[in-house]
Structure 1
C-alpha cells in the first residue's frame, strides 16, 4: 500500500539525485537556511471514494527553490524549473506527476506538482456462514 511518506520520499529522492549540492528541507525552515536549497511542502492530501474498495488519492506539492546567488537569480530559477519538469514527471513507485507549473514569487521559485493515483483498500474478511436451517411451507390455494 502506498503511503503519504512513500510519495514524499520519492520527491525528495529525485531532488537529491538531480541537485546533489542543494540542501533539501521537508519540515518548516525556522532559521539558518543554507542556499541553494529546496523546501518540499506537501499540501493537504485528499482522497475520494470511487467504487467499492477503490479510491483516488491526491498528493500536491509546492517545491520551493532558494537560489545561491541573487545575481541572475531569475535565470537560475527558470533553469531549475526546466529540470524539475523532467525529473519530477516520474518518481519511485512509479507515480506520474501532473498539473505541473511554476512561478517566481519574492525571489523564490515555487514548482507545483501533483501525484494522483488509485488505491485499493484491502478486502475485509467476514465470517463465513456455518450452517443454514430453512423452515417454511407451501400454502395450498
Structure 2
C-alpha cells in the first residue's frame, strides 16, 4: 500500500513538472543531478476501527533540490506546483492529500502532505479446532 502511494506521488510529480527533474525514492545519492525530488515517508500508522476495517495514515516529506542560481524563487514556484499533490492515483483508487504545507531549510524545499484513508485489511485465516472431547471423572 505504501509503495502504491509513493508511486502515485512520483507519477504526479512527473506530470506537474515539465523539465527533466529526477525523482528519488530510495535516498538521495551523493552526486545527484539537480533539480531533483526525494520522496520520503515520515510516518505511517494504522488503527483498527471495526473488525477488519482500518484507518491508515501516511505522512510524506517531498524534498526539492533546486537547480538554478535563483533558488528561493524556484523553490516557491515548485511549492505552488506541488499543491497538485492534493489528488494522486494510488493503485486503482484516487487518494486525497491533506495537511499540505512547506518550508525551506538549508536551501532545500520540504513539502509535507498526508494521505489518510479507510481500508479493509484481510486477516490470515486461522484453522479452527474441529472437535474436542473432555473427560472428567471422579473416583476410580
Question: Residue in 2 aligned with 1:83?
Answer: 81
**4+ runs deviating over 4 angstroms:** 123-128
RMSD: 2.1
Report the Cα offset of residue 120 of structure 1. Answer: 0.8
Q: How many residues end up aligned between the 2 structures?
A: 127
Larger radius of gyration: 1
Gaps of 5+ in 1: 131-141
SS in 1 for 2:43: coil
Deviations 1:35-83 (A, max 9, x none): 00001111131111112221000111100000001x3211110111011
Q: Provide the C-alpha distance between the structure 1 equivalents of 2:122 and 2:71, rounded to a whole number of angstroms.
A: 48
Q: Provide the C-alpha distance between the structure 1 equivalents of 2:6 and 2:62, rounded to a whole number of angstroms.
A: 11
Range with greater deviation from structure 2 (100-109 or 71-80)? 71-80
| More strand, by proportion | 2
Question: TM-score w.r.t. structure 1 length?
Answer: 0.81
Question: TM-score w.r.t. structure 2 length?
Answer: 0.82
